[in-house]
Structure 1
């Protein structure tokens, strides 16, 4: 994409959803000087990789929210999108506001339950308060039941047992194997063993439901549209739902928007070997890189201790609270 980009006056990209994919797309558009508007329910980016620890460790939630305005200024708008009119190419918010687009990137993620996700129109101060409330609930509980043994359930059970080693924690999962099916069997077994080492009780066996993700082609375009993209958890790409992958999706979507403006061929997204790090509390972790199991101490150092918070604050161009 060498040379200065010539941008028509009618170009205006709208990004719906300010998760990892959304901010990655916004930062790249900002870098190329392409006009855009980022729309999200919250007024701050939520580093939800650290959401589970914020649910068990008091005071930690403050580090997981990064205000959008500080980074994107007037190119950020808070609100809930209720309709997309593809005929006139506009996004309609619940307050009646219309935002015109020439290109649209959907980064709405997945609508998982709190505390792993925070999908509500709210201020980040209110969101932090809610995380602090769940910390108090866990502290007061005699035992905690975690339903679902995917990556989130596994990490949540480990976080609770790490922070409160004497508290009874039970994890129920619909399959015998834990975490994501794309992981190596030995890594999934290791995750189970770490939970058992930490004293988590496991009840396993059952079936899973469909996820209802948006269908996209190899260019990350939603089927039937050439100017609407989906990235991150809301796209039906056959790979684990991870912040890292959302960023890769966003890069393809933005590149294709720019290529379409300059008449270049569209680029494609290709899944590779699964790389995933599971934080098993702040003192342990398991994972794999390019098909190889990683030593537990490397995952602990690389993810578990700090949960990559530094990366999000740096990418947002802000300094984390001390």
Structure 2
């Protein structure tokens, strides 16, 4: 039996779906600005814990730096701070569908646990679905830990590893594997002429490849194997003759790991709200065009830019918070009716014009490369990349985002 959940009829309810970098950044910013006497806030996430994405590729390779303890942060009362302390609610569940209100009216989020959560303002921050090594289970922390241990055992047992996809996931996983397994054969195969994609200059992409090759990691660019061959293959499943690439090379790994690009996690939304790539169509105010009380941010938005946690947390979330508060203020001035003035045309609203492209790609703990699209385009090598990210993968910053300190 479904339950209809309206937490306080005297308050408007803000529901945030997704507790990743974008969702938590937005929640933390709301916690210093929202009036808890007027507004209730609910966070919904499929998992019971935050998975700190920058550290996950090291996490699944070995027990280096005790990352199971340090980088997996459970949601709970600590997630709601400042003005929201004692006034926020976390629900672990997966969204099945959203019943949108008419003309900006209240709607409902239908969950897989049978609950139906009412909202006055809805924020969608469900991020991406990731390839199998970091496609963590949702049901429990125990299941997540078992997934991590299984991946570690799988990598340790393999004698020859093929990574299919040379984006940041493939590059960073190769670097972590080489740190732990100094002599194990590791190959990356990538369909494009250079690693990563054309959003970054060729000089940067070639530099990353040279770094990997200097660590005895084989990089095959402009080549591919079939999609069926690119599924995870255990040692007992690899054909004795190996795989033949499109260019005719013979590869004989005993573990094949998909490390290709991500997909937006938007399967719960109707197709008319999505682009052809599955991203959510938004206005420059981060609102859905036909639903002014629904906002989207992070990896799921249909915006021409490279997706990153940094953009969601530092460029998207501040503008979404400002526009939510403006929407609620206008709604209050209208006596509780949907806001009469569209934020998209309001001079007071925060419009998004994009952010600079920047990326730090790790290559194990001591190396990597960084690119910042400022001035003529600035590239940094291993020393600065290690300082910025590679050495500790930003693990020390997680507590400031989640409010949780590991025991």
Normalising by structure 1, we get a TM-score of 0.91
The answer for unaligned runs of 5 or more in structure 1 is: 1-7
Which residue does 1:85 correspond to in 2? Answer: 99
Contact in 2 for aligned 1:169/1:200 (Cα 8 Å) = yes
Query: Structure 1 253/117 Cα, relative in aligned 2: closer, same or farther at 3 Å?
Result: farther
| Greater Cα offset, 74-83 or 109-118 | 109-118
Which residue does 1:277 correspond to in 2? Answer: 360
Residue of 43, 47, 56 corresponding to 1:42? 47
| Greater Cα offset, 68-77 or 245-254 | 68-77
Contact in 2 for aligned 1:61/1:132 (Cα 8 Å) = no
Query: Where does 1:191-202 land on structure 2 (aligned, <5 Å)?
Result: 191-202=208-219
Which residue does 1:4 correspond to in 2? Answer: none
Deviation per CA, 1:53-91, whole angstroms, max 9, x where unpaired? 011112433322111103236521101110100035010
Secondary structure of the structure 1 residue equivalent to 2:133:
coil
Query: Where does 1:64-83 land on structure 2 (aligned, <5 Å)?
Result: 64-69=71-76, 70-72=78-80, 74-83=88-97
Which residue does 1:315 correspond to in 2? Answer: 401
Structure with bigger gyration radius = 2
Contact in 2 for aligned 1:145/1:171 (Cα 8 Å) = yes
Contact in 1 for aligned 2:311/2:355 (Cα 8 Å) = no
Give the Cα–Cα distance (whole angstroms) in 1 for the partners of residues 397 and 25 of structure 2: 12
Secondary structure of the structure 2 residue equivalent to 1:214:
coil
Which residue does 1:252 correspond to in 2? Answer: 319
Give the Cα–Cα distance (whole angstroms) in 1 for the partners of residues 218 and 199 of structure 2: 24
- 1:170 paired with 2:213, answer no
Which residue does 1:300 correspond to in 2? Answer: 386
Give the Cα–Cα distance (whole angstroms) in 2 for the partners of residues 66 and 188 of structure 1: 33
Residue of 286, 295, 304 corresponding to 1:238? 304
Which residue does 1:12 correspond to in 2? Answer: 13
Pairs aligned (count): 313
Shift of 1:211: 4.0
The answer for unaligned runs of 5 or more in structure 2 is: 1-8, 81-85, 225-259, 262-275, 331-345
Normalising by structure 2, we get a TM-score of 0.72
Query: Structure 1 223/150 Cα, relative in aligned 2: closer, same or farther at 3 Å?
Result: farther
Which residue does 2:336 correspond to in 1? Answer: none
Secondary structure of the structure 2 residue equivalent to 1:303:
helix
Secondary structure of the structure 1 residue equivalent to 2:360:
strand
RMSD: 2.1
Give the Cα–Cα distance (whole angstroms) in 1 for the partners of residues 170 and 160 of structure 2: 15
Query: Structure 1 177/223 Cα, relative in aligned 2: closer, same or farther at 3 Å?
Result: farther
Shift of 1:47: 0.2
